[in-house]
Amino acid sequence: MKRKKYSIDFKKQVVKEAKETGNLAAVARRHELSTTMVSRWKREVESGKHGEIDLAIVPSFDGEALS
């Protein structure tokens, strides 16, 4: 099985959504990701691995609200 690669923009959007909702698990389920992966992306963004990122300018996802 081949690993799926996600763009930096997608990762930033998922991290932004997780921070806004405060619910990592729900965000992970919504995007069919593991909570471990979302947690790792959050840690990477916060540590500056992908450079300085202002999450305020990252576009939000369109779609249904999390339940």
The tokens for 61 are 């996802």
CB 35 within 8 A of CB 25: yes
User: Does the predicted TM-score (pTM) go above 0.75?
Assistant: no
| pLDDT at 2 (0 to 100) | 82
> What are the pLDDT digits (tens) for 32-67?
999 999 999 999 888 877 666 555 655 566 555 554
Domain edges within the chain? 8-48
Which residues make Cβ contacts (< 8 Å) with residue 18, sequence separation at least 6? 24, 27, 28, 38, 42
**Of 3-7, 21-25, 28-32, which gets the smallest average pLDDT?**
3-7
